[in-house]
Structure 1
Amino acid sequence: MALIESSILIVDDNDQICESLELFLGRYFSDTTSLSNPNNLIHTLENKYFDVILLDMNFSSGRYSGNEGLFWLKEILKRDKNSVIILITAYGKVELAVNGIKEGAFDFVLKPWENEKLISTIKAGIEIRKSRLEIAELKDQQQILNSTSDKEFFFLKGTSPEMKEIEQIISKVARTDANILVHGENGTGKEIIAREIHRQSKRNGQVFMSVDLSSLTDSLFESELFGYKKGAFTDAKEDRAGKIEVSHKGSLFLDEIGNLPINLQSKLLTVIQTKTITRLGSTQSKKIDFRLICATNKPLNQKIQEGLFREDLLYRINTVQIEIPPLRNRKQDIIPLCEYFLVQQTKKYNKPQMKLSKSALTKLQDYMWPGNVRELKHVIERAVILNSNSQLKPEDFVFSELTENKITDDILNLIELEKLAIKKAVKKAGGNMTKASEILGISRTTLYFKLSKYGF
């Protein structure tokens, strides 16, 4: 007979009973542990996971009230409200059984026990434990997903050869669990690509968990990603699953991975390699099944050369790399995107349907779109809000500061564009090179190199 994969803890002050139960239950369950001193109970629970706990009601000689068992029952549930506890005693009374179940026990068994009844009670307890954990996991997922439910993500198929090639890559990689790295400038739609991969994958019925790594400080990194146990730190009022744990069976999207500090990259690498996490304040590791998709606008190979990114981490995250070209390099997609966003924004603001004039379309196509698709959406949204006419004209569209400098077809030389971008970033940062490098999306070392190269 195959053993049932489960872990059972026996807590009884009688060594003979512990030994007898271990031998008997060992025929049915894969792991049994016994404990004769309840003072070691909490330490044991902090270091090992158990599906069912068999708990004696009385531990001191001459005491038969069951208060000791009720005390330890409360202590266990205080730390894990999903614990399944079966109370067991030689001095059972109906009142004692009722009190125990009222306090949160799953069931009550008398000594001497009936073997068949004991086994069936434990089996039922294992199923209840599984159900409780599944419900807790769903609640954790819902709590985190509620915070991002207002985001709008839609994958609009492009007409350009570049986007058609990306669509083909997505259809191939989505069927696998290969790790994907999406690279592209800010605003190109890296998260939309990641969500489309998830939508076409076998995990599409499960959670898509998006994490912006650039927003996590060193102190928040572990608690947000790995979760924590109650009491792990001052504000840890209750157990909480981390975002990696919530992504179990689904897809985990790590945005801005190029911004992750080097001292935190080793922790992330360990999780990716082992697919296990340990909550803060706990010593128990948990296996997590997730599909990994990462995104960055940084040149990671260059960051490796600068000692700012781990080479072994890059190898882990980019089994397949998808490069999203900037909008200025795929002009064919501008009109379809404009038309889509126009319909979307008129519905959002309860405006009558609007159209774009030919001259407006020309202006939109000629613009360089340094902010890519994100900027295009914002430009259309602003025009819809401020206009009450049925047709939008060129003057209805206001571009960023770059427009004032005539960044159109007049300047197509990439070196000149780069020089201008560096000048504007340094000016905007007030001469602060760290801020300027962040605006440009490059490292400070690279910025100094380019300043020297262009003779600034």
Structure 2
Amino acid sequence: MTDAHILIIDDNKSVLSALEILLQFEYKKIETISNPNQITSFPNLKEIDIVLLDMNFSAGVNSGNEGLYWLRELQKKAPQTSVIMMTAYGAVDLAVKALKEGATDFILKPWNNDKLLATVKSAFELRKSKKEVHELKEKETHLKQVINQNKNYIIGNSKALNGVLKMVGKVAKTYVNVLVTGENGTGKELIARELHKLSARNHEVFIPVDMGSISENLFESELFGHIKGSFTDAKEDRIGKFEAANGGTLFLDEIGNLSLQAQAKLLSAIQNRTIVRVGSNKSIPVDIRLICATNEDLDQMVADGLFREDLLYRINTIRIEVPALRDRDNDILVLTDFFLKKFTSKYGKPSLKINQQAQEKLLSYPWPGNIRELLHTIERAVILSEGNVLKPEDFLLSNKQTVSTNLNGPATLEEMELLMINSALEQNEGNYSAASEQLGISRQTLYNKLKKRGKN
């Protein structure tokens, strides 16, 4: 016996009895009503799997309009329920009209028992499919909400930051591609998430991709997906980041680390708004809002032949420069207070405070690692603190200060970067993972930067 709930609606009690007898041996719960006006007050109507609905209830009326009216009412109150229309006055145009209005099927009276049972069975399968689709959509909506939850906040009220946020507010409502630039650790991903949150796509997913961590041979698979058997480890079909972000926002971080070959493939996908999975010939259309980010000087890279000019034009409709922490005035102290509250709560030290001298030390430091460096500095100080007051000596900033004072005369940004990388590698005894974590970049990005300068 099938675990299904069926409701029969007909003003002829003989019809109700005959159908109830026929169906009761096949389905678990059968209910009947002879007056369609009872539909609006019927308890738990959404739990009904199938409704068998007569099309004519008034004597002498056989237009089917009454049945169509109640079909619409059922669809309003129980949209996933399958409705089978019944009438003794068969007409092809009436059947077509009922199906267009959303009926699952159409039965003529008198009916053939086998045919009726087959029709009801098909309607039940459709009901199960509708229910599954509805549940999947609800799960999808919930997952998107979870994925889009951003527990990081844009903290600060400096003039430099407010100018960026004003630009974000203007650009977010459009669909143009945006390039977010700025030093490492300035919060470029937070800006990208803010653009997504303020856009019309905020109910869809935000998919971040660290381009610096994707190896060259996996680039296409990661971004465009692959089909089973397309390469050695392709044991099943897999969608790429472009398809995963369909309808939402795709954020490509560290885009300056891409090889020219990868840039060409990315440009094609952006231009055509279609992708082809590895191992397939089928073009798949994608609808994404594209946001890219980099700490590299892409204009200089174009001049040096390291970045495609046509790709830069595609991703750079609007450019948003995120200011360095040292250019954000007292935001350093605002962020310090925020991180201090966060970590004193996390590590059970609620009474811990920071004194004036320590604040002055933090304000005078150039913060080459920006907000990420400040966060790690505050967390380390809280963990190692022994008293209730954080003093200047509790903040270990000397390593990077030493790097800056070791320069003899003016230095380029590349020279400064290389000094910091070498210093981090020395401090971590050549451990690339530890050095990249200290610098606030991925291991792959560290490799790329050393390779670019012929140091690896």
Q: Please state which band the TM-score falls in when normalised by the shorter chain.
A: 0.5 to 0.7
Q: Could you say if the C-alpha distance between residues 139 and 203 of structure 1 is closer, same or farther in structure 2, counting changes exceeding 3 Å?
A: closer
Alignment map for 1:140-219 (pairs within 5 Å)? 152-156=151-155, 158-219=156-217
Tell which deviates more after alignment, 205-214 or 224-233: 224-233
Instruction: Give SS of 1:225's match.
Output: helix
Instruction: Find the partner of 1:377 among 368, 371, 375.
Output: 375
Instruction: Give SS of 1:294's match.
Output: strand
1:357 is aligned to 2:371: no
CA displacement 1:35-82 (0-9 Å, x = unmatched) = xxxxxxxxxxxxxxxxxxxxxxxxxxxxxxxxxxxxxxxxxxxxxxxx
Q: Which amino acid aligns with 1:402?
A: K
Shift of 1:313: 0.4
Q: Could you say if the C-alpha distance between residues 314 and 279 of structure 1 is closer, same or farther in structure 2, counting changes exceeding 3 Å?
A: same
Q: Could you say if the C-alpha distance between residues 373 and 159 of structure 1 is closer, same or farther in structure 2, counting changes exceeding 3 Å?
A: same
Shift of 1:413: 8.0
Match of residue 65 from structure 2? none
TM (norm. structure 2) is 0.61
Distance in 1 (CA, whole Å) between partners of 2:329 and 2:304 is 34
Q: Could you say if the C-alpha distance between residues 219 and 415 of structure 1 is closer, same or farther in structure 2, counting changes exceeding 3 Å?
A: closer
Shift of 1:424: 5.6
Instruction: Give SS of 1:328's match.
Output: helix
Q: Which amino acid aligns with 1:154?
A: Y
Alignment map for 1:360-439 (pairs within 5 Å)? 360-399=358-397, 401-404=399-402, 415=411, 425=421
Indicate conservation of the 8 Å contact 2:182/2:294, yes or no: yes
Match of residue 220 from structure 2? 222
Shift of 1:318: 0.8
Instruction: Give SS of 2:179's match.
Output: strand
Distance in 2 (CA, whole Å) between partners of 1:412 and 1:330 is 27
1:293 is aligned to 2:256: no
Distance in 1 (CA, whole Å) between partners of 2:157 and 2:255 is 29
Which structure has the larger Rg over C-alpha atoms?
Answer: 2
Q: Could you say if the C-alpha distance between residues 400 and 447 of structure 1 is closer, same or farther in structure 2, counting changes exceeding 3 Å?
A: farther
Shift of 1:237: 2.1
Match of residue 256 from structure 1? 254
Q: Could you say if the C-alpha distance between residues 277 and 136 of structure 1 is closer, same or farther in structure 2, counting changes exceeding 3 Å?
A: farther
Q: Could you say if the C-alpha distance between residues 280 and 357 of structure 1 is closer, same or farther in structure 2, counting changes exceeding 3 Å?
A: same
Shift of 1:394: 0.9
Q: Could you say if the C-alpha distance between residues 233 and 154 of structure 1 is closer, same or farther in structure 2, counting changes exceeding 3 Å?
A: same
Q: Which runs of 5+ in 2 are unaligned?
A: 1-114, 436-444
Q: Could you say if the C-alpha distance between residues 278 and 173 of structure 1 is closer, same or farther in structure 2, counting changes exceeding 3 Å?
A: same
Instruction: Give SS of 1:295's match.
Output: strand
Alignment map for 1:14-413 (pairs within 5 Å)? 135=136, 152-156=151-155, 158-399=156-397, 401-404=399-402
Q: Could you say if the C-alpha distance between residues 423 and 239 of structure 1 is closer, same or farther in structure 2, counting changes exceeding 3 Å?
A: closer
Match of residue 451 from structure 1? none
Instruction: Give SS of 1:241's match.
Output: coil
User: For the aligned residues, what is the CA RMSD?
Assistant: 4.2
Distance in 2 (CA, whole Å) between partners of 1:413 and 1:137 is 62
Distance in 1 (CA, whole Å) between partners of 2:266 and 2:131 is 28
Distance in 2 (CA, whole Å) between partners of 1:310 and 1:137 is 42
Q: Could you say if the C-alpha distance between residues 171 and 244 of structure 1 is closer, same or farther in structure 2, counting changes exceeding 3 Å?
A: same
Distance in 2 (CA, whole Å) between partners of 1:330 and 1:375 is 15
Shift of 1:325: 1.9
Q: Which amino acid aligns with 2:152?
A: F
Shift of 1:442: 6.9
Distance in 2 (CA, whole Å) between partners of 1:229 and 1:316 is 28
CA displacement 1:233-253 (0-9 Å, x = unmatched) = 222222211111010111100
Q: Could you say if the C-alpha distance between residues 151 and 348 of structure 1 is closer, same or farther in structure 2, counting changes exceeding 3 Å?
A: farther
Distance in 1 (CA, whole Å) between partners of 2:277 and 2:338 is 43
Shift of 1:198: 0.9
Q: Which amino acid aligns with 2:345?
A: K
Shift of 1:443: 8.9
Distance in 1 (CA, whole Å) between partners of 2:142 and 2:233 is 21
Q: Which amino acid aligns with 1:223?
A: S
Q: Could you say if the C-alpha distance between residues 272 and 182 of structure 1 is closer, same or farther in structure 2, counting changes exceeding 3 Å?
A: same
Shift of 1:386: 1.3
Match of residue 109 from structure 1? none
Q: Could you say if the C-alpha distance between residues 303 and 446 of structure 1 is closer, same or farther in structure 2, counting changes exceeding 3 Å?
A: farther
Indicate conservation of the 8 Å contact 2:263/2:311, yes or no: yes
Distance in 1 (CA, whole Å) between partners of 2:220 and 2:138 is 19
CA displacement 1:366-387 (0-9 Å, x = unmatched) = 1111111100000001011111
Q: Which amino acid aligns with 1:390?
A: N
Tell which deviates more after alignment, 221-230 or 290-299: 221-230
TM (norm. structure 1) is 0.61
Indicate conservation of the 8 Å contact 1:298/1:441, yes or no: no
CA displacement 1:180-239 (0-9 Å, x = unmatched) = 000111111111111111111111111110001111112111111111222222222222
Aligned residues: 323
Match of residue 90 from structure 1? none
Distance in 1 (CA, whole Å) between partners of 2:159 and 2:203 is 30
Shift of 1:400: 5.2
Match of residue 79 from structure 1? none
Indicate conservation of the 8 Å contact 2:160/2:328, yes or no: yes
Shift of 1:345: 1.6
Distance in 2 (CA, whole Å) between partners of 1:421 and 1:201 is 35
Shift of 1:348: 2.4
| Percent of aligned pairs with the same amino acid | 45
